[in-house]
Amino acid sequence: MTQSQLPRHVAVVMDGNGRWAKARLLPRLLGHQRGVEAARKVIRGCSQAGVECLTLFAFSSENWKRPPDEVSGLMSLFMTVLDREAEGLVRYNIRLHFIGDRQAFSPSLKEKITQTEAKTAHCQGMRLLVAANYGGRWDIIQALQAYLTAHPNSDPTTLSEHSIAPYLSTARLDVPEPDLFIRTGGEYRISNFLLWQLAYAEFHFSEKLWPEFNEQDLALAFADFAKRQRRFGMTGEQIQQGAGHA
Ligand code: IPE
Ligand code: IPE
Ligand code: MG
C-alpha cells in the first residue's frame, strides 16, 4: 500500500461491547473490558502501519443516559486503563490527547487524564485521540464560542467555515480531518461523533462486535479505503488528471 492509499487519520466508533457480553451472558462491563483489548490491537496496528492519527470514540455525550452502574463502571475502567497503558504508549512513541468536555468528569479522572497526556507529551509518533464525553454538536458549539471569544466584534456576515474550523477540537491539536471512519457492531450511523470533521471521510462498516475486532479486520478496512476514489466534489476525470487534494 502506498502512503497515499493509507489514511492519515482513522476515526473509530468502537461499538458492540454490550451485545458481545450479553451474547455470553456476561455483564456489559466485561464487554467494555474486552473492548480495551481490541482498542490496543487497533492502536498498535495503526501505529505500525504509519497512520498519523487515530481517534477512538470511547464515551459519547449521550452515554450518560445509560444505567448508572454502567456509567460508573466505565469511568473506573478509564482510570484503570490510563494507569495501565501509559507506559506502553510511551514505548510505542504514541502521544495521547483527550477530546470532549472533560468538565463533567470527577476531579480524579480529570487529573489522571491531564497526567497521562503530560506523560506522552514528548512522543512524536502517532497521535491517539480519545473522544470521551464527546459530541460532534458540542464540538461545533465550543468552536463557535472560542471563535467569538477571540473575535468579540466580528461581523456575522464575514463568518465562514474557515473561521470556525481552526477551533474544532481536532484542529486545535493540529490533526487533519479523518480520512477513514470505521464503525463496528453492525450499526450504520454517526451517533454524534465528529460531525464536521467527517464531511469527506470514507466510511467502512464492520459487522463484528468491537471486542472481536482485530488486526485482520483493520487490514480489511485499510484495503477497502485504498480502493476508494476520493473526489471532494470533483469528477473522477479531474481527480485522475491530478486536480485532487494532495
Ligand atoms: C460501545 O459499545 C462502547 C460504549 C458506548 C461505551 P456499546 O456499549 O454501545 O455496545 P452495544 O451497542 O450495547 O452492543
Ligand atoms: C457510540 O455508540 C458511542 C461510542 C462508541 C462511545 P452508541 O452505542 O452509544 O451509539 P448508539 O446509541 O447506538 O447510536
Ligand atoms: Mg452501542
> What pLDDT is attached to residue 244?
61
The best mutation among 22, 55, 63, 98 to test binding of ligand 2, ranked by most ligand atoms within 8 Å of the C-beta, falls on: 63
Q: Would residue 15 show up in a list of annotated catalytic residues for this protein?
A: yes
Contact call for residues 238 and 244 (beta carbons, < 8 A): yes
The CA distance from 68 to 48, in Å, is 37
Whether 187 is in the pocket of ligand 2, judged by its Cβ within 6 Å, is yes
Examine residue 171 and state whether it is found in any structural domain, yes or no.
no
pLDDT in tens, 85-137: 999 999 999 999 999 999 999 999 999 999 999 999 999 999 999 999 999 99
Q: What is the pLDDT of residue 219?
A: 98
CATH number at residue 237: 3.40.1180.10
Please report which helix (H) or strand (E) contains residue 182, including its range. strand 180-183
pLDDT score, position 243: 76
Q: Is residue 94, in this structure, part of any structural domain at all? A: yes
Residue 35 is assigned to a structural domain of this protein: yes
**Residue 79 scores a pLDDT above 70:** yes
Mean pLDDT of 197-210: 98
Which spans in the chain are helix H? Answer: 17-23, 28-49, 68-91, 107-119, 136-150, 161-164, 169-172, 215-227, 236-240
Domain annotation covers residue 157: no
Look at residue 145 and tell me if it is in a domain: no
> What's phi and psi for 200, nearest 5 deg?
-120, 25
With 60 as the cut, is the pLDDT of residue 246 above it?
A: no
State the chain's mean pLDDT as an integer: 96
Query: Which pLDDT band, with edges at 50, 70 and 90, does 76 fall under?
Result: very high
Rounded mean pLDDT, 32-36? 98
Q: Is 224 a catalytic residue?
A: no
Q: Is the CB of 185 under 6 A from ligand 1?
A: yes
Is residue 207 within 6 Å of ligand 2 at its C-beta?
no
Element of type H or E holding 60: strand 53-60
Mean pLDDT of 27-49: 98
Distance 63 CA to ligand 2 centre (A): 7
Quote the ligand 2 centre to 15 CA distance (angstroms). 6
Helix, coil or strand: residue 160: coil
Query: Hey, what's the cell of 224?
Result: 477497502
Share of the chain above pLDDT 90, in %: 96
Residue in 12, 13, 14, 15 to alter for ligand 1 test, most ligand atoms within 8 A of Cβ: 15
Strand order in the sheet with 127-134: 95-99, 127-134, 53-60, 9-13, 180-183, 202-205
Is position 159 within any domain?
Answer: no
Domain assignment present for residue 81? The answer is yes
Q: Read off the DSSP letter of residue 181.
A: E
The candidate with the shortest Cα–Cα distance to 97, out of 125, 124, 120, is: 120
Q: What is the pLDDT of residues 52-69, one digit of tens each?
A: 999 999 999 999 999 999
Q: Please check whether residue 215 lies inside any domain of the structure.
A: yes
Residue 3 pLDDT exceeds 90: no
Q: Say whether pTM exceeds 0.75.
A: yes
Residue nearest to atom 2 of ligand 2 (CA): 15
State which residues form the domain around 71. 3-138+178-245
Q: Is 73 in the pocket of ligand 1 (CB under 6 A)?
A: no
Number of domains in the chain: 1
pLDDT confidence band for 8 (50 / 70 / 90): very high
Q: Closest Cα to atom 1, ligand 2: which residue?
A: 191
Supply the pLDDT for residue 74: 98
Which residue from 53, 7, 56 is spatially nearest to 35, judged by alpha carbons? Answer: 56
Q: From the CA of 95, how far away is ligand 2's center (Å)?
A: 25
Is 191 near ligand 1, meaning CB less than 6 Å away? no
Is the CB–ligand 2 distance for residue 191 below 6 Å?
A: yes
Q: Could you read off the pLDDT of 134-181 as tens digits, one per residue?
A: 999 999 999 999 999 999 999 999 999 999 999 999 999 999 999 999
